[in-house]
Amino acid sequence: MSRGGAARPASVAEWSAGGLRKIDGRVATVGSAGLASPILVALSRRSVFVRAVRVPNVSEELVRQALQFQVGQLFPVPATELAWDFVLGAHHDAEGRAASLFAVPNSVLQQLTEDLQGRGLKPYAIVPVAVGSMVLARRLGLETCAVVERLPDGYGIDLIHEGVVRASRTVGDDADLAGEVSLAMAAANVPAGPVVGAGGLEGPGIDRTCEAGVLEALASPEGLELDIHLEHPERAAERARRRTRTRIRQAALLAAAALVLWVAIGLDLSDRAAARRQAEARWNARLTKLRKERSLLESRYAEAQRLETALDRAFEPGQRVSDVALVVSEAVPPSAWLTGFSVERGRPASLRGSALDNESVGRLVQTLAGNGRFRDVKLLFANKIDVEDTPVVQFSVGAHVVGNVPLLSAEKTTRRGASR
């Protein structure tokens, strides 16, 4: 994406509704003291949606085209009201590679633009602040970790897995930091890993300390190499139109030059030009015939693939519900109990229950995630309540039962009313 036409940003700051937080931690609520244009703007964790997705091993342009059709299904806001971009993981295998998909509502971008204009600042690029944690993890050689940094009103937690951001959140000053990190990893289906304190943060639950902060990492050469920029769709479209107009003008000039050259050749070599036109007509006719044949063969091949997929789906057996229920019951730790379990063909399984502590819930999620019968095991929610003066954690876990696919593919619908 374009980055304001400058080689490097003149300043870096994190933007939120409360103001601009500079690298030194101070918040510039009024004016732009200590800041200069172009400015690298890091959007706060509360302003950005984050989703981890799996994409094929193709070019970034092809990945972008594929994600355009999925954005509306991955976020609780219509795709037409979002600006989005993504970062690819460095490692890939036969199944593809991990990627972090970031999105921000257009209304938030409009508020940011008005704030920067009021301060007399121009953006170099607009990126999620969590990308800085990904840069720190790569610098430390960590594929999986949690990066924690101190904020003016609490702590920021970014979960890194397979080298990309899997989840990002903030907690208050009085939060149990170690417990919040453990719960966030379980909810995001991230394996346990070291906890890194950014900006020299130390304390209970911090395994490693990095002197550089998240904003400093964004401004580093490694951070600036990441090609990500959250831009308002209208501005991106206008820039694309300008590029298109430029290409049209260039094409027109080239066409005019070609026409002049063609006339010169026709005047000097009319007989040879006529013979060439006849040869081109013959080859074009043959090429058209071959293209039609190729199109027919491709359609037959696609139909055969669809038939093969339907047959595989119909005759390949899935898991029995009784087996799934037995495995789930054996995975429940002694300090937890199930109050509900449901599974239907073609739909994720749902577990509901209660536990005496968060650790029991985390063990249940990790046990199911490590079982080959399940994938995409996620903690849907975990709420603490008191039952007759006894603290209890009510939880819900969702998981996809491997092999549990429908015979017919249901049409996907976009959920617009889901809360974030």
Contact residues for 142 (Cβ-Cβ < 8 A; gap 6+): 160, 193, 194, 196
Report the alpha-carbon angle 188-193-199, nearest 5. Answer: 95
pLDDT of residue 263: 79
DSSP line for 261-307 = HHHHHHHH-HHHHHHHHHHHHHHHHHHHHHHHHHHHHHHHHHHHHHH
DSSP line for 175-207 = S-HHHHHHHHHHHTT----PEEEGGG--STT--
Q: What distance in Å separates the CA atoms of residue 420 and residue 51, rounded to the nearest whole number?
A: 11
The answer on 191 and 52 residing in a single domain is yes
Question: Cα–Cα distances in Å, from 243 out to 111, 231, 248, 256, 381?
Answer: 27, 16, 9, 20, 47
pTM value > 0.75: no
* Range name among 159-168, 235-244, 283-292 with the lowest pLDDT average: 235-244
pLDDT of residue 240: 67
pLDDT of residue 420: 46
The answer on 216 and 82 residing in a single domain is yes
The answer on 49 and 151 residing in a single domain is yes
Q: Is 143:98 a contact under the CB 8 Å cutoff?
A: no
The answer on 262 and 185 residing in a single domain is no
Q: Is 227:1 a contact under the CB 8 Å cutoff?
A: yes
Q: Indicate if the pLDDT at residue 418 is higher than 50.
A: no
Strands of the 96-105 sheet, one edge to the other = 49-55, 96-105, 82-93
DSSP line for 325-362 = HHHHHHHS-TTEEEEEEE--TTS-EEEEEEESSHHHHH
Which pLDDT band, with edges at 50, 70 and 90, does 91 fall under?
confident
The answer on 180 and 94 residing in a single domain is yes
In a domain, 408, yes or no: no
More confident residue, 222 or 271: 222
pLDDT of residue 417: 47
The two beta strands, 336-342 and 96-105, are unpaired
pLDDT of residue 19: 79
pLDDT of residue 419: 44
- At position 406, the amino acid (one-letter code) is P
The answer on 102 and 66 residing in a single domain is yes
Tokens found for residue 48: 């950005």
The answer on 116 and 77 residing in a single domain is yes
More confident residue, 416 or 153: 153
Which pLDDT band, with edges at 50, 70 and 90, does 161 fall under?
very high
In a domain, 176, yes or no: yes
In a domain, 41, yes or no: yes
The answer on 306 and 331 residing in a single domain is no
The answer on 147 and 18 residing in a single domain is yes
In a domain, 256, yes or no: yes
The answer on 280 and 368 residing in a single domain is no
Q: Indicate if the pLDDT at residue 317 is higher than 70.
A: no
Residues of the domain holding 337: 321-401
Q: Indicate if the pLDDT at residue 6 is higher than 70.
A: no
CATH number of the domain enclosing 366: 3.30.1360.100
Q: How many domains does the chain have?
A: 3
In a domain, 411, yes or no: no
Contact residues for 110 (Cβ-Cβ < 8 A; gap 6+): 232
The answer on 215 and 136 residing in a single domain is yes
pLDDT tens digits along 39-70: 999 999 999 999 999 999 888 889 988 888 88
Q: Indicate if the pLDDT at residue 349 is higher than 50.
A: yes
pLDDT tens digits along 234-246: 776 676 678 788 8
The answer on 204 and 98 residing in a single domain is yes
